[in-house]
């Protein structure tokens, strides 16, 4: 076998081994065995968080319970069968001792009672459906917020590493100058102090990154300290100029929270109707026979004798609950409207600041840093001047990243309120 054939054979064997190992890992550990090596996208994180949310599961269970109560309220009452042996009111005799009676009873509530109760359960279940939609929007916002915070913490650590690298280079220059007696030991020690201070900043930002990772992992249902590798978020390329009228219309017409509160009002109104219909009679149909061929049948009507007092109070209570739901809905609408306006105003201000940093502050501070580094290397400026330019450059980028994260989080919050209508 030639060398070429041997290499080809070994290459094919290597491919087969890798494929075999991959198959074994996938079989035993699932298709996500290599998932951690791939950056986690924002949309994938949102889907995972929804599946792992206990609040979402609780709302689903509540809705199914209300739907079950809705079906049960329309179901007929269970019939009863009575078997009688003998007639204790008659004188004992041979005939009486063998008397057996059979009676079938079926109760019927007035139809209006059942339908009003069923309607209230149906409206409450529909309200929970909108609560579930609102919960999905909330989970989306929480995941986006955690995603941006974690990404911001990563970026801060990178910027501090850049600052540390620049001070490390300056320390080398300061040491060379001190050896040549072209600078004082004070400047060299000051450079060392500045370098060590970056370690403290790095420690603080490391803690921030760990906390952001814990928050994100908890939302995803993972171990708090699990490693995360996230995809870079999409940065807005143009200033934020919202169509206020369109967003406001989407908020007022499509908000699941407002829809849920409106349905609760209707459910309370249905409870009022149900309380009023308690005056209506209930029916009971009974048919029976005995072993001697006798047949009997009758209908009973049940009226609430305490209606004027008891049921009248139930109507008052149901009306007060309706007024309470109306007040809650109005309070929620006002609160959401104020939050809506505040978030739009904040996003507009943040958008202007971000544009200023991108076009003016960061390029200017970067140019000043580059010039200062060159001038310090040639001995034209002292260390304090260079430190000022370095801090200005790094801080401008840190401030930009914070503004960008605040903008993305604010946009996620506004998008939650407008049901995903933001561009």
- Residue (of 204, 225, 108, 89) closest to 156 by Cα position: 204
User: What share of the chain in percent tops pLDDT 70?
Assistant: 84
CA 79 to mean position of chain CA atoms: 47
Q: Is the model's pLDDT at 74 over the cut of 80? A: no
| CA gap 43, 230 in Å, rounded | 11
What is residue 88's predicted lDDT score, i.e. its pLDDT?
A: 57
Least confident of 2-11, 114-123, 129-138, 402-411: 2-11
The pLDDT value recorded for residue 423 is: 66
The angle formed by the CA atoms of residues 337, 339 and 345, to the nearest 5 degrees, is 105
Distance separating alpha carbons of residues 320 and 325, to the nearest angstrom: 9
* Average pLDDT estimate for 117-139: 91
- Joined together, the tokens standing for residue 185 give 């030991």
Residue 139 has pLDDT above 90, yes or no: yes
Is the confidence at residue 60, as pLDDT, over 70?
Answer: yes
Residue 301 has pLDDT above 80, yes or no: no
Place of tokens 């609430």: 304
Q: At what angle do helices 312-356 and 244-254 cross, to 10 degrees?
A: 150
Between CA 46 and CA 54 the distance in angstroms is 14
More confident residue, 88 or 242: 242
Predicted TM-score (pTM) above 0.75: no
Q: Which residues pair with 245 in a beta bridge?
A: none
Burial of 390 (C-beta count, 10 Å sphere; 0-12/13-18/19+):
buried
The average pLDDT across 414-418 equals: 88
pLDDT at 104: 86
The predicted structure's pLDDT at residue 197: 85
Assign 150 a pLDDT band (cuts: 50, 70, 90): very high
CA–CA dist 289, 297 (Å, integer)? 9
User: Mean pLDDT of all residues in the chain?
Assistant: 81
Is residue 324 predicted with pLDDT exceeding 80?
yes
What pLDDT sits at residue 87?
59
Q: What angle do CA 159, 232, 358 make, to 5 degrees?
A: 55
State percent of the chain over pLDDT 90: 28
Please name which of 244, 254, 237 lies closest in space to residue 416, comparing C-alpha atoms: 254
pLDDT at 8: 43
In angstroms, the CA 104 to CA 64 distance is 34
pLDDT in tens, 96-117: 556 677 888 888 777 777 788 8
Whether the per-residue pLDDT at 32 is higher than 60: the answer is no
Q: Report which of 316, 337, 335 is spatially closest to residue 327, judged by C-alpha positions.
A: 335
| Res. 246 pLDDT band, cuts 50 70 90 | confident
At residue 314, the pLDDT reads: 80
DSSP strands (E only) in 27-168: 80-85, 100-108
pLDDT in tens, 356-395: 998 899 999 999 988 988 887 777 887 778 888 888 888 8
């Amino acid at each position: 076998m030639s060398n070429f054939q041997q290499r080809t054979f070994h290459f094919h064997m290597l491919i087969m081994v890798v494929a075999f190992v991959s198959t074994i890992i996938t079989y035993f550990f699932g298709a996500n065995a290599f998932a951690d090596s791939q950056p986690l996208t924002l949309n994938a994180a949102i889907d995972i968080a929804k599946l792992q949310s206990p609040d979402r599961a609780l709302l689903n269970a509540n809705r199914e319970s209300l739907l079950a109560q809705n079906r049960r309220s329309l179901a007929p009452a269970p019939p009863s069968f009575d078997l009688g042996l003998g007639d204790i009111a008659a004188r004992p005799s041979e005939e009486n001792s063998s008397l057996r009676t059979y009676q079938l009873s079926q109760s019927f509530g007035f139809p209006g009672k059942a339908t009003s109760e069923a309607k209230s359960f149906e409206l409450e279940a529909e309200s929970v459906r909108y609560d579930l939609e609102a919960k999905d929007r909330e989970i989306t916002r929480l995941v986006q917020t955690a995603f941006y915070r974690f990404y911001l913490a990563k970026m801060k650590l990178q910027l501090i590493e850049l600052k540390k690298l620049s001070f490390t280079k300056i320390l080398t220059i300061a040491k060379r100058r001190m050896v040549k007696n072209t600078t004082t030991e004070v400047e060299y020690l000051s450079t060392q102090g500045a370098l060590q201070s970056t370690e403290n900043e790095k420690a603080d930002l490391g803690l921030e990154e760990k906390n952001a990772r814990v928050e994100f992992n908890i939302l995803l249902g993972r171990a708090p300290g699990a490693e995360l590798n996230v995809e870079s978020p999409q940065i807005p390329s143009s200033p934020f100029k919202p169509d206020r009228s369109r967003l406001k219309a989407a908020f007022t017409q499509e908000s699941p929270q407002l829809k849920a509160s409106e349905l609760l009002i209707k459910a309370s109104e249905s409870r009022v109707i149900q309380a009023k219909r308690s005056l209506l009679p209930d029916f009971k149909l009974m048919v029976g026979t005995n072993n001697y061929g006798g047949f009997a049948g009758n209908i009973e009507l049940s009226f609430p004798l305490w209606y004027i007092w008891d049921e009248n109070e139930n109507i008052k209570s149901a009306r007060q609950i309706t007024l309470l739901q109306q007040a809650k809905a109005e309070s929620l609408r006002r609160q959401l409207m104020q939050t809506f306006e505040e978030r739009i105003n904040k996003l507009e201000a943040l958008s202007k600041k971000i544009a200023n940093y991108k076009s003016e502050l960061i390029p200017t501070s970067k140019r000043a840093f580059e010039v200062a580094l060159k001038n310090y290397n040639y001995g034209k400026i002292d260390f304090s001047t260079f430190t000022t330019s370095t801090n200005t450059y790094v801080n401008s980028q840190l401030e930009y990243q914070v503004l960008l994260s605040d903008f993305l989080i604010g946009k996620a919050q506004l998008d939650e309120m407008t049901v995903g209508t933001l561009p």
